[in-house]
Amino acid sequence: MFDVTVIGVAGGTGSGKSTLVRRLQEAFAEDEVVTLCHDYYYKGYKNLTYEERTRLNYDHPQSFDTEMMVEHIRTLKDGVPIERPVYSFVEHNRLEETVRVMPSKVLIIDGILIFENKQLRDLMDMKVYVDTDADLRLARRLLRDVRERGRTMESVVEQYINTVKPMHEEFVEPSKKYADVIIPEGGFNSVAVYMLIENIKSVIRSK
């Protein structure tokens, strides 16, 4: 089996997961780290209209093809490349193309619900939860979805109230208990990021 260190980064929407993942990537050589985001594995709904897709609950565990992600992680751990799916947040649908991901020493997976699934948790060597105030998370999500995903402010707030917040309280927040490390503010917490990087380096050296 290929010797891969798998690090899971979870936390609520807008918590700073992506910033943390980016800072971890920057700390290692390009061929040492690859990332897989749970968001890539949203299920496709080609049988539904765009309007119908906008009304789906994308914050429930059943919205993801987690079985495929588990299989892909196991494949990478075996030293075999994968073809991961591509998801469009603008179209609310999975696209036809895929992206090839090569095996690497460190595999970082991130997503709001990756600690909720036991099969995923069991594949991780280290579990990091990013803990950020709810008001700040909502503000970040609002800016991101309007700027990058073509959403209106009203639709973002409506989605947050109807699905994001209740699903966070039901699934995301309780999964924090599985974390090995909890980092307030995620990638914006420089001290914690430095300590995490050093810890990962020691894990790699010990293998």
Q: What's residue 200's pLDDT?
A: 82
Lookup result for tokens 């696209």: 95
Please give the Cα distance from 34 to 109 (Å, whole number).
Answer: 9
CATH (domain of 143): 3.40.50.300
- Exposed, middle or buried, 93 (CB in 10 Å: 0-12/13-18/19+)? middle
Q: Is residue 204 assigned to a domain?
A: no
Give the DSSP letter string of 41-65: GBPP-TTS-HHHHHTS-TTSGGGB-
In three-state secondary structure terms, 70 is helix
Q: Is residue 202 assigned to a domain?
A: no
Q: What's residue 137's pLDDT?
A: 83
Among candidates 183, 169, 185, which has minimal Cα distance to 113? 169
By DSSP bridging, strand 93-101 and strand 82-88 are antiparallel
Structural domain count, the chain: 1
Q: What is the DSSP letter of 38?
A: G
Among candidates 165, 71, 181, 185, which has minimal Cα distance to 117? 71
Q: Is residue 41 assigned to a domain?
A: yes
What's the token pair of residue 196? 């995490």
Q: What's residue 2's pLDDT?
A: 67
Query: What parts of the chain have a pLDDT lower than 70?
Result: 1-2, 207
Q: Is residue 76 assigned to a domain?
A: yes
Q: What's residue 41's pLDDT?
A: 97
Q: Is residue 203 assigned to a domain?
A: no
Q: What's residue 1's pLDDT?
A: 55
Give the DSSP letter string of 130-152: EE--HHHHHHHHHHHHHHHS---
Q: Is residue 206 assigned to a domain?
A: no
Phi, psi of 5 (to 5 degrees): -95, 120
Please give the Cα distance from 18 to 202 (Å, whole number).
Answer: 23
Please give the Cα distance from 18 to 39 (Å, whole number).
Answer: 12
Query: What's the domain range around 146?
Result: 5-195
Q: What's residue 147's pLDDT?
A: 86
Q: Is residue 34 assigned to a domain?
A: yes
Q: Is residue 207 assigned to a domain?
A: no
pTM: 0.87
